[in-house]
Amino acid sequence: MDRRIQSVSGGAATEPERVAGSTEPGSLAARLASGRVLVAPGVFDGLTASLVEQAGFEAAYVSGASIAYTRLGRPDIGLVSMAEVADTITLIRERVPLWLVVDADTGYGNALNVQRTVQRFERAGASAIQLEDQTFPKRCGHLSDKSLIPAPEMVGKIRAALDARQSAATLIVARTDAVAVEGFEAAIERARAYAEAGADVLFVEAPKTREQLAAVARELGKATPLMANMVEGGRTPILPAPELQALGFALVIFPGGAVRSMARAAHDYYATLAEHGTSDAFRDRMYDFDQLNAMIGTPEMIERGRRYESR
């Protein structure tokens, strides 16, 4: 696996490994070309990333929406800055060696902003950087009233991103939101143009039916890996990863499931605490002190620290 940096729990950090080509064995591109769908759950901090790693996943999706929900307590409407996402990538990369597919929204501006975003996210540890063709400020792909930049402008952004990356192992994901704005056929045409511009992965956001998901795979073919987005309660029907693989998708993200689960659990916890004045009624739905410390590796880190104590 082309892991960008060793996790803190696994030893000293190293410089990102650079490879000559994006399909080098062990790279993310090679994994996407393997024929086995890659599932990337959404994460937004070191804790969620470590949980994803412990569950056995190979990749995680750094979700801009989840960062907005958790850091700002606000919706995904373009409020999160490039610097806030870069800081989040850095903290996650310190914790886990997973492939990180990072939501870069619109690139936070024009083609020159895109280049700075790609350079900073790659240095922070991104394995793939997703750019979308919405205007700024953007909206969550499953919200209404989105608007798009012209396709040639997005092509320029993709070319700028490709020029800015340090390594071909860092993939550029091109997302189009045209299904909701210009229609399904226009979305396919945009995706084709983005592939011709050199995008490494194509992402047609918010198909409305299973048939449209199948048509994305059929129309865009197998030349460029395809990504699908599963949003609980969103515009696209939720399909299991094996079914998406059968349709022709190489990468599937579940970007907001963790934050929705944790928000529901936290809501219930606070309501219980407010009602009873104690957390006792919620104890069977939470880790206790020792369990949480075991999960995050406290005993191992304390033991490691003892190696550096004066003798």
- Which residue has better confidence, 26 or 249? 249
pLDDT at 14: 34
CA dist 195 and 114 (Å) reads 17
pLDDT at 234: 87
Give per-residue pLDDT as tens, 161-215. 999 999 999 999 999 999 999 999 999 999 999 999 999 999 999 999 999 999 9
Span 45-73, average pLDDT = 97
CA dist 18 and 26 (Å) reads 12
CA dist 229 and 207 (Å) reads 9
In a 13 Å sphere around the CA of 233, the CA atoms on its Cβ side amount to: 6
Asked if residue 257 has pLDDT above 50, the reply is yes
Pick from 66, 58, 106, 55: which is nearest to 82 by CA? 106
CA dist 140 and 84 (Å) reads 17
> Can you tell me which residue has the tokens 């569950």?
55
pLDDT at 54: 97
pLDDT at 143: 67
Mean pLDDT, the chain, integer: 91
pLDDT at 22: 59
Model confidence at 136, pLDDT cuts 50, 70, 90, reads confident
Exposure string of 274-283, with b = 16+ CB inside 10 Å and e = fewer, is eeeeeeeebe
Model confidence at 222, pLDDT cuts 50, 70, 90, reads confident
